[in-house]
Amino acid sequence: MSNSMALTEQPGSKDADRHEPTTKVIPLSEAPGEREAWNRSSSVMYLWAVAERLFVTNSWQPSSKLRNAILRLFGADIGEGVIFRPRTRVAFPWKLVIGANSWIGEGVWIHNQNHLTIGANAVISQDTFLTTGSHALRRDMALITSPIVIEDGVWVTSRCVVLGGTRIGTSAVIGPNSVVKGEIPPNTIWSGNPLAEHGTRFPVTLKEMGLS
């Protein structure tokens, strides 16, 4: 009976040595920028971690008014009438702006190591992840951040990922489970990964087209 194991390279053999991987591995303990995005002292960060867990993420805390008040206390610019649901997370409230009458759905994670702006009357639906951070993957895994701007009237539907450097134009819609990066024109509908356009949200009048 043949031994199938005999067909594989044994550890320490000359054949195995010739195929040892030489791909670079970045030592993450040396990656720069871990705390550069904080812009606050360690004590403020620890206080925020406790406040976020008690008043923002806590599913037993149903009040948007209280949630908004705590976010404002730590530096967020939150407009009037904002609905901010439970199970949400905000990394750095002092880098967050939300316009009046916007809705932030349950489970939304705002990972804003850079500034993140959401306009008025905008909707960020359930379990969407917005992140302004990335890493220098080919160099040293240093933190790289770029802002996110979501303009008035936008609807980012459930379970989307919005990456740093994105700007979503007025009244645009992003379909569920989409990954968004870059410029999204106003009044357009996009979805998917890769993201693709699916027409306009509202009819465009002749006046808006400059033809009247």
For residue 206, is pLDDT > 80?
no
Q: What is the pLDDT of residues 140-156, one digit of tens each?
A: 999 999 999 999 999 99
Q: Residue 189: is its pLDDT beyond 90?
A: yes
Positive or negative, the Cα torsion across 26, 30, 34, 36? negative
CATH number of 111's domain: 2.160.10.10
What was the pLDDT predicted at 153? 98
Select the more confidently predicted residue: 124 or 211: 124
Q: Poorest-confidence range of 28-42, 89-103, 156-170?
A: 28-42
- 204 in any annotated domain: no
Name the band, by pLDDT with cuts 50, 70 and 90, for residue 17.
low
pTM, entire model: 0.85
Answer yes or no: is 187 within a domain: yes
Asked if residue 84 lies in contact with residue 68, where contact means CB atoms within 8 angstroms, the answer is yes
Does residue 162 lie within any of the structural domains? yes
Residue 158 has pLDDT above 70, yes or no: yes
What mean pLDDT is reported for the chain? 90
Which range of residues forms the domain containing residue 84? 40-192
Q: Residue 58: inside a domain, yes or no? A: yes
Report yes or no on 47 lying in a domain.
yes
In angstroms, rounded to a whole number, what is the distance separating the alpha carbons of residues 52 and 96? Answer: 14
- Count of structural domains within the chain: 1
Amino acid at site 13: S
